[in-house]
Amino acid sequence: MERIGTITEDKGETAVVHLRRHLSCENCGRCGGILSAEDRRDHFVEVANPIRAAKGESVLIEIDDRRALFIAFLLYLVPLAGLLAGILLGLKLSALLGWEGYRELAAAGLGFLLMGLIFGAISLWDRRIKQSGRYRPVITALLQEEDLGPAE
């Protein structure tokens, strides 16, 4: 996946890049409508800067598609699977313990507990992986004004 951005901060080996979001992102609703339309369009990303691009330069950024899909899978589907597994386990466990009046409550509680534990594990993994830089996007080229074209 390739994106175009402008460097806002040079940190030597890394840089903070201002990316303009795709038009498809504008109406997704993930932010819950809290942000104004202008705030939802832009975001900042820390990227590897092997070509030593400087502040203010327009750059091309790449991230491996397989790694991006793996991260999306990890952040969205694994916690959902944990929630469902916790609910099913809670139903079985409450039936075994004879909590007939509280089966649904026990199932929901165990589901949310398992999902929370998975989010905690993902958070720990995220801290460790940030230090390695393995999943960090990379600046691959400097762009000139004629390369930029209209915003996506």
* Confidence category of residue 31, pLDDT binned at 50, 70, 90: low
**pTM of model > 0.75:** no
| The two structure tokens encoding residue 61 | 């950024």
Bridge partners (DSSP) listed for residue 3: 61
Query: pLDDT for 1-29, tens place per residue?
Result: 888 889 999 888 889 999 876 655 555 55
Question: Residues near 1 by Cβ (< 8 Å), separated by ≥ 6?
Answer: 62, 63, 65, 68
> 31-40 — which CB contacts under 8 Å span 24+ positions?
none
Query: pLDDT for 86-143, tens place per residue?
Result: 999 999 999 999 888 889 999 999 999 999 999 999 999 988 887 777 788 888 988 8
Longest dimension (CA), the chain: 71
Do residues 48 and 136 lie in contact, with contact meaning Cβ atoms separated by under 8 Å? yes
Token pair 């900042």: residue: 44
* Confidence at residue 85, expressed as pLDDT on a 0 to 100 scale: 97
The CATH number assigned to the domain with range 1-63+137-152 reads 2.40.50.140
Round to whole Å and give the CA distance between 131 and 121.
Answer: 16
Query: pLDDT for 48-74, tens place per residue?
Result: 889 988 899 999 988 888 888 898 899
